[in-house]
């Protein structure tokens, strides 16, 4: 079976407020994929159905690889990071932001995140808003293609209706 990739959501080297040497717990976030097959029938994705049907205590076989292309030099002076993502594409960046927070890095971050609305489809909304609120050198733009429920516009958090390409 062809392998599927999933990004790790958490900072795997930090747990319960402590840095740890090895990675013991990983969190994944996925959307149950569905599509129309050649007969025009609705079909669920193979691996997301599998993941969706797992229950606590189940064992799975997987492999983990670290992406060395991301956050190459976080300790450089005045590091800057531009993040552009949509949907579950936010997942690896939640992990990176967690690392930045846990290591108390001063990285200047500008983030654009496209979701359908700023509630149900805005994954990790609370974490993102807490992270960016009053982080003086950084900001997040939540771009909602459909509805804005919360209209959160605080220092560092800008919510607006529309599409990424317009915001950029």
Contact positions with ligand FAD (CB under 6 A) in 17-36: 29-31, 33, 35
In terms of DSSP bridges, do strands 139-147 and 34-36 run parallel, antiparallel, or are they unpaired? unpaired
Q: Per CB under 6 A, which region of 11-19, 41-49, 93-101, 134-142 contacts ligand FAD? A: 41-49
Residue 91 lies near ligand FAD (rule: CB under 6 A): yes
Give SS3 for 131. Answer: helix
For residue 130, CA distances in Å to 44, 121, 157 come to 34, 17, 9
Dihedral in degrees, nearest 10, Cα atoms 146, 149, 153, 159 = -10
Determine whether 14 is exposed, middle or buried from the number of CB atoms within 10 Å of its CB (0-12, 13-18, 19+): middle
The residue from 14, 23, 45, 102 that contacts ligand FAD (CB under 6 A) is 45
Shortest Å, Cβ 143 to ligand FAD? 20
The residue from 5, 18, 69, 72 that contacts ligand FAD (CB under 6 A) is 5
The residue from 37, 55, 61, 136 that contacts ligand FAD (CB under 6 A) is 37
Contact 157, 112 (CB under 8 A): no
Shortest Å, Cβ 37 to ligand FAD? 4
Number of residues that bind ligand FAD (CB under 6 A): 18
90-99 core/surface letters (b: 16 or more CB in 10 A; e: else): bbbbbbbbbb
Residue 46 lies near ligand FAD (rule: CB under 6 A): yes
Site for ligand FAD, rule CB under 6 A: 4-7, 29-31, 33, 35, 37-38, 43, 45-48, 88, 91
């Amino acid at each position: 079976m062809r392998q599927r990739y999933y990004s790790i959501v958490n900072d795997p080297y930090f747990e319960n407020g402590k840095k740890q040497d090895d990675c013991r717990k990983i969190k994944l976030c996925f959307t149950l994929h569905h599509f129309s097959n050649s007969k025009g029938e609705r079909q669920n994705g193979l691996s997301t159905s599998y993941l969706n049907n797992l229950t606590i205590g189940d064992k799975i076989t997987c492999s983990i690889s670290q992406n060395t292309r991301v956050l190459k030099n976080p300790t450089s002076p005045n590091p800057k990071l531009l993040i552009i993502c949509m949907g579950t594409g936010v997942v690896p960046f939640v992990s990176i932001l967690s690392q930045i927070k846990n290591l108390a890095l001063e990285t200047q971050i500008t983030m654009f995140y496209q979701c359908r609305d700023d509630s149900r489809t805005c994954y990790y909304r609370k974490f993102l808003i807490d992270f960016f609120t009053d982080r003086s050198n950084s900001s997040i733009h939540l771009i909602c293609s459909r509805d804005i429920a919360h209209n959160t516009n605080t220092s560092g958090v800008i919510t607006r209706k529309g599409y990424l390409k317009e915001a950029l």
